């Protein structure tokens, strides 16, 4: 990878394509894993809102569906599978160019949905403007992952139409690693506030649930949960905040 196609031996070209096949499969499993984890975290934080719960499940089904389809298409696109990196071997392969365009577009769309999905819920939180602005900034860190995904897709489209793909694949696979790690970091951002506060201000970890703490679990809805969630009363507590008692859904570790 990173060599011009004309400088590579047939054996090296075959190994190059084989590793593209393997790394592409691992890439799909990786982004499927962290996106499912992120959506499940959204459900844990804001699942008391029924509309948000339905929207999150819809995105979860969409993400799982298209990535699973992409994985199966990649895995069994050639019969036998070895024809993927041995083009002279008897067998056949489906044309993956149109599938790459479609799946790449859905990849960008899903990242945008993951970025936008929690923002309305965060904005509805009954917090001070400073706390609300801080939480919005934390969740907006996902825009970095959207940018990386979009740039990677643009380079992938360029690679599909280029004669020297081996040379261009290096930057695409570099962005692949960046995309996965950026997604993991952005997914962890909402729960990293105590860590940063401890590092910056040398404050001891606070195990008490407070509205100003990033460990709080979900939205203050101003009411008790509906009948479907009444069995989970142990997760609901009353907290004194100023002169008002506010009902907060707290995630219990």
Please write the tens of the pLDDT for every residue from 129-184.
777 777 777 777 778 888 888 898 888 888 877 777 778 788 888 888 888 888 88
Residue-wise pLDDT for 71-98, tens only, equals: 999 999 888 888 888 888 898 888 778 8
Mean pLDDT of the chain: 76
Both tokens assigned to 162: 């280029």
**Does this model's pTM top 0.75?**
no
Q: Name the 3-class secondary structure at 48.
A: coil
Record the tokens describing residue 44, joined without a space: 């844990």
Between CA 75 and CA 29 the distance in angstroms is: 12
pLDDT band per the 50, 70, 90 thresholds, residue 57: very high
DSSP strands (E only) in 110-187: none
Phi/psi at 117 (5° precision): -55, -50
By three-state DSSP, how is residue 249 classified? Answer: strand
Note the pLDDT tens digit of each residue in 193-220.
677 777 766 655 555 444 333 334 444 4
3-state secondary structure of 118: coil
């Amino acid at each position: 990878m990173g060599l011009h196609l004309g400088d590579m031996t047939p054996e090296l070209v075959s190994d190059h394509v084989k590793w593209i096949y393997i790394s592409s499969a691992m890439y799909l499993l990786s982004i499927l894993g962290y996106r499912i984890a992120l959506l499940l975290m959204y459900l844990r934080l804001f699942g008391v809102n029924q509309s948000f719960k339905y929207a999150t499940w819809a995105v979860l089904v969409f993400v799982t569906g298209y990535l699973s389809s992409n994985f199966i298409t990649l895995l069994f696109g050639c019969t036998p599978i070895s024809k993927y990196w041995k083009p002279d071997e008897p067998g056949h392969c489906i044309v993956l160019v149109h599938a790459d365009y479609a799946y790449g577009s859905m990849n960008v769309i899903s990242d945008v949905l993951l970025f936008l999905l929690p923002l309305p819920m965060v904005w509805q939180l009954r917090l001070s403007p400073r706390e609300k602005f801080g939480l919005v900034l934390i969740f907006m860190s996902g825009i970095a992952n959207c940018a990386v995904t979009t740039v990677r897709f643009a380079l992938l489209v360029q690679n599909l139409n280029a004669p020297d793909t081996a040379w261009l694949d290096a930057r695409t696979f570099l962005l692949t690693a960046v995309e996965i790690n950026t997604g993991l970091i952005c997914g962890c951002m909402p729960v990293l506030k105590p860590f940063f506060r401890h590092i910056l201000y040398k404050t001891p970890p606070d195990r008490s649930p407070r509205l100003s703490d990033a460990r709080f679990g979900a939205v203050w809805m101003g009411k008790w949960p509906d009948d479907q969630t009444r069995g989970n009363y142990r997760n609901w507590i009353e907290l004194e905040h100023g002169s008002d008692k506010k009902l907060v859904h707290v995630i219990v570790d």
